[in-house]
């Protein structure tokens, strides 16, 4: 036989409430209509589903079996509806956010969590991007927002605002090569074995662009794609590492020294394309979440 989902919802509500009257109220049906539906359900099933008494109703063994399977069917139906309707919840193209590698550590994940929770109908596509590429994408309208390095984005026609300090430091194992030092130049850092990000990472490219050709050729013990892993390797004594100061977890035992080089002093900006009459609500909301997340840096 074919079961009607509304009849199943009514039957489950009736059993859970202990009376046809209360079950009918819960699913917004009149008592005569609810009674007729349940009688029709029993007729099609060919078996009594409820024991009726002056104090209410309770399920027969067959009714208890139907209750158990009804819960499964309704739960599966809800998952089905959610899966299908999720494709209709984001009719517009996703927002495109371009960020440098250091922004991927902490700030951007924090902003995405709160933004996506508060805006279930807006999707965001995030890509790691070097500042020159991000600037071009924002100017051409290919991206909605970007987190860029100030020195490379200044006077490029973008609308920008300061987000956070992104200055670089050198870190190493407590009691290791940096013991007793508070500051040193990158040329001295490069004389030691290092751990760092992979060659295509925007932060790695920034360092190599500004440090060469004065610094020695670097020996990387290993390279990884995550700043947290870089910090863990440095803390373990594998090698020194150059990272943004905000990436250093104060609870991890590390020696942290300031880099003397001027290029190590950086600031991150939030940027969007040239000023327009209005900013799309989704873009404005994402920008607000990035501002709040940057306060933790």
pLDDT at 256: 96
Task: Name all domains of the chain by residue range, CATH numbers in brackets.
Answer: 5-88 (1.10.10.10), 95-165+267-294 (3.40.190.10), 168-264 (3.40.190.10)
Whole-number pLDDT of residue 54: 86
Full 3-state SS string of the chain: CCCCHHHHHHHHHHHHHCCHHHHHHHCCCCHHHHHHHHHHHHHHHCCCCEEEECCEEEECHHHHHHHHHHHHHHHHHHHHHHHHHHHHCCCCCCEEEEECHHHHCCHHHHHHHHHHHHCCCCCEEEEECCHHHHHHHHHHCCCCEEEEEHHHHCCCCCEEEEEEECCEEEEEECCCCCCCCCEECHHHHCCCCEEEECCCCHHHHHHHHHHCCCCCCCCEEEEECCHHHHHHHHHCCCCEEEEEHHHCCCCCCEEEEEECCHHHCCEEEEEECCCCCCCCHHHHHHHHHHHHHHCCC
- Can you tell me the distance from the alpha carbon of 84 to that of 237, in angstroms, rounded to the nearest whole number? 51
- The pLDDT of residue 271 is 93
Tell me what pLDDT residue 88 has: 58
The tens place of each residue's pLDDT in the chain, 297 residues long, gives 678 899 999 999 999 999 999 999 998 999 999 999 999 998 888 899 999 988 899 999 999 999 999 999 988 988 887 777 656 555 567 899 999 888 888 899 999 999 999 998 899 999 989 899 999 999 998 999 999 999 888 888 899 999 999 999 999 999 999 999 999 999 999 999 999 999 988 889 888 888 866 778 889 999 998 899 999 999 999 999 999 998 898 889 999 999 999 999 999 999 998 865 568 889 999 999 999 998 876
How high is the pLDDT of residue 31?
Answer: 92
pLDDT of residue 229: 94
Task: Quote the tokens at residue 35.
Answer: 């009674």
Query: What pLDDT does residue 68 have?
Result: 93
């Amino acid at each position: 036989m074919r079961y009607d989902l509304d009849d199943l919802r009514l039957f489950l509500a009736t059993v859970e409430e202990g009376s046809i009257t209360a079950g009918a109220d819960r699913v917004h049906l009149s008592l005569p209509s609810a009674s007729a539906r349940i009688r029709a359900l029993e007729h099609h099933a060919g078996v009594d589903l409820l024991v009726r008494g002056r104090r209410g109703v309770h399920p027969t063994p067959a009714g208890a079996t139907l209750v158990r399977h009804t819960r499964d069917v309704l739960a599966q139906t809800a998952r089905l509806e959610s899966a299908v309707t999720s494709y209709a919840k984001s009719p517009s193209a996703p927002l495109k956010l371009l960020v440098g590698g250091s922004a991927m550590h902490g700030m951007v994940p924090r902003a995405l969590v709160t933004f996506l929770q508060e805006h279930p109908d807006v999707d965001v596509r995030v890509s790691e991007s070097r500042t020159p590429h991000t600037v071009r994408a924002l100017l051409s309208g290919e991206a909605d927002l970007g987190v860029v390095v100030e020195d490379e984005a200044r006077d490029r026609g973008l609308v920008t605002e300061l987000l956070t300090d992104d200055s670089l430091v050198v870190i190493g194992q407590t009691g290791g090569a940096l013991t007793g030092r508070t500051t040193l130049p990158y040329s001295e850092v490069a004389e030691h074995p290092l751990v760092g990000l992979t060659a295509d990472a925007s932060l790695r490219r920034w360092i190599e662009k500004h440090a060469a050709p004065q610094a020695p050729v670097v020996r990387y013990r290993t390279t990884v794609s995550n700043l947290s892993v870089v910090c863990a390797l440095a803390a373990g004594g594998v090698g020194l590492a150059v990272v943004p100061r905000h990436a250093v977890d104060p609870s991890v035992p590390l020696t942290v020294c300031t880099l003397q080089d001027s290029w190590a002093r950086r600031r991150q900006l939030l940027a969007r394309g040239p000023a327009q009459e209005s900013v799309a609500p989704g873009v404005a909301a994402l920008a607000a979440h990035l501002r709040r997340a940057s306060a933790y840096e």
